[in-house]
């Protein structure tokens, strides 16, 4: 019998149509949650994820997380079906990597607006509903936000900012029973890592004490724990899922 750790919970996952987000959606559904997830452009990918989910009541909506209007519309759609929300996973994000001297201001802004401002918009828009249900918020950050990385000043800033944002909101909403935590993945196998050469992967793995690439389910299991009532006394925390790449 499948683990029903999240039975009866309704959870929103942004950016759930591919990669780590899709792994999170599947893991939450397998744990008994009903999942509403967002996609930005490829509806066929969202449909494919939804079709393979166990249980009933799952659905997806389109959302441009960098647009306040789009976030409001998507959240309104979800709340029209689900007046109660028990969890939110802010996962949607982008990268636009290049060295600082070559980085255009618009590339810096777009990453900040999507990764950091988008997390703010979703959390703020749903805050009153979250307080009614003593919900759990999990924000997906990155080991890059903890260590920095050449060519990713914009991405690192967005993820480090998300950690600070999460701690602040955790303090603000704790009295209403809302918990806010982060999961910081390290090197995880996704579509993006598949384009790396074996030599590139080898060099990365030399820095990982556990000596292997993580899987989407490793991140998803951490999210599942933080969404569940088993983590009821944890808030303002960043859970690293990185094989020891960074130890805090």
CA distances from 97 to 104, 128, 154 (A): 10, 36, 8
Q: Please give the span between the terminal C-alpha atoms of the chain, in angstroms, as a whole number.
A: 36
Out of 39, 60, 155, 233, which one is annotated catalytic? 155
Per-residue burial over 39-54, b if 16 or more Cβ lie within 10 Å, else e, is bbeeeebbeebbeebe
Q: Give the C-alpha separation, 134 to 118, whole Å.
A: 22
CA-to-CA dists, residue 231 to 30, 76, 179, 188, 237, angstroms = 18, 28, 9, 24, 11
Active site residue 233: no
Give the list of residues 6+ apart from residue 1 with CB closer than 8 angstroms, or none.
none
- Whether residue 186 contacts residue 240, with contact meaning beta carbons closer than 8 Å, is answered with yes
Catalytically active residues are: 155
């Amino acid at each position: 019998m499948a683990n029903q750790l999240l039975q009866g919970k309704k959870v929103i996952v942004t950016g759930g149509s591919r990669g780590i987000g899709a792994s999170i959606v599947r893991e939450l559904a397998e744990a008994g949650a009903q999942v509403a997830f967002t996609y930005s452009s490829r509806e066929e990918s969202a449909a494919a994820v939804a079709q393979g989910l166990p249980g009933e009541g799952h659905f997806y909506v389109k959302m441009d997380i960098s647009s306040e209007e789009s976030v409001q519309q998507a959240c309104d759609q979800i709340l029209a079906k689900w007046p109660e929300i028990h969890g939110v996973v802010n996962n949607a994000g982008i990268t636009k990597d290049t060295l600082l001297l070559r980085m255009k201001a618009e590339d810096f802004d777009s990453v900040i607006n999507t990764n950091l401002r988008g997390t703010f918009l979703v959390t703020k828009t749903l805050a009153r509903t979250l307080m009614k249900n003593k919900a759990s918020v999990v924000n997906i950050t990155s080991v890059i936000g903890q260590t920095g990385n050449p060519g990713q000043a914009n991405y690192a800033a967005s993820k480090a900012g998300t950690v600070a944002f999460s701690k602040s909101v955790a303090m603000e909403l704790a009295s209403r029973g809302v918990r806010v935590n982060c999961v910081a993945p390290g090197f995880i196998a996704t579509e993006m890592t598949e384009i790396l050469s074996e030599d590139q992967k080898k060099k990365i793995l030399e820095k990982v004490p556990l000596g292997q690439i993580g899987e989407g389910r490793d991140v998803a299991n951490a999210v599942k724990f933080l969404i569940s009532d088993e983590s009821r006394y944890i808030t303002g925390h960043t859970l690293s899922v990185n094989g020891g790449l960074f130890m805090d």
